[in-house]
Amino acid sequence: MKPNRRDFLKASSLGAATFLLAQPRVFSAPAWRFSACDWSLGCGSDPGAMEVAKAVGLQGVEISAGSPDQDDLQIADPAFRQRYKDLVAKTGVVVSSVAMGLLNNAPLATDPRGPKWLEQVIAATRDLDAKVILLAFFGKGDLREKGVLKKKEVDAVVDRVKAVAPAAEKAGVILGLENTLSGKDNLAILDRIQSKAVGIYYDVRNSTDNGYDVPKEIVELGNRICQIHFKDGADYLGEGKVKLPPIVDAVRKNGYAGWLVLESSIKNNDREASFKKNIATLNKVFETA
């Protein structure tokens, strides 16, 4: 019997649906965005970093919060933040994150100003429409000594971060811990803090230097990683100790889709060429070129 038009359309629809369900699911890759630390650009705590970033092909800048010789951090000044806002509007380059590198010399675990600084940076980060705050634990602020956890300092950091985590959550920002600890030790700290507003700021070269299995850690940390630093000491990316292909595979497995932040070196005193080369390398390995 010859099918009528209604039967034909119904059969066609069912056939198309069956065909689509049988096909492998294809997901588009994240639209990777590239940022750089203002100190790596040679513009520490300088709003002019936004214009420099645009010139070298970046979409964002990780800006410094200030120095430890200030009781009220520079980033807490509305007039100072307005300079960034004006340049964001002018260049289209945004503030990807705010870094509290000052904690390397004025450790969060021991400096009495730490809690106040955290509150100031949380408010400033929200005002700048950024999402991540880097809390640094290197130098004087290192949470290890000769490879052993400094328990007293770790306890103090947990208490102080836990106390401000509700404010960070309300502001819609994440406090990213960047340190010399293993992924396992960092997960233990996050489990003690118990806040979705606290994560790990992962640095591929630091972790390589500390002897950790970087791809394995990235997968194990999963969505606890809030942002990633890419650098390779004095070398261009892809030409030093950091093995990019397995790291890229791990980032994909992790499901990370945030900023790729360059903390890379300037070679031959040529800032533009150095950053453009490193951006091109990341574009290539992440297949976004």
Q: Does position 112 have pLDDT exceeding 80, yes or no?
A: yes
What are the contacts of 269-275 at 24+ separation with CB within 8 A? Answer: 271/41, 271/42, 271/52, 271/56, 272/55, 272/56, 274/236, 275/36, 275/41, 275/56, 275/57, 275/58
**Segment among 5-14, 60-69, 224-233 with least mean pLDDT:** 5-14
- Please say whether the beta carbons of 115 and 168 come within 8 A: no
Q: What is the mean pLDDT of residues 232-248?
A: 97
Pick the more confident residue, 230 or 12. Answer: 230
What is the reported pLDDT for 3?
A: 44
Residues in contact with 49: Cβ distance below 8 Å, sequence separation at least 6, in sequence order: 38, 41, 43, 61, 63
Fold of 29-285: TIM Barrel (3.20.20)
Q: What is the mean pLDDT of residues 30-36?
A: 89
What is the pLDDT confidence band of residue 30, given thresholds at 50, 70 and 90?
low
What is the reported pLDDT for 29?
A: 52
- Please say whether the beta carbons of 165 and 159 come within 8 A: no
What is the reported pLDDT for 31?
A: 80
**Partners of 260 in beta bridges:** 34, 228
What is the pLDDT confidence band of residue 13, given thresholds at 50, 70 and 90?
very low
Token pair belonging to 205:
């070269």
Q: Does position 289 have pLDDT exceeding 70, yes or no?
A: no
Q: Please state, as a whole number, how many other Cβ atoms lie within 10 Å of the Cβ of residue 78.
A: 9
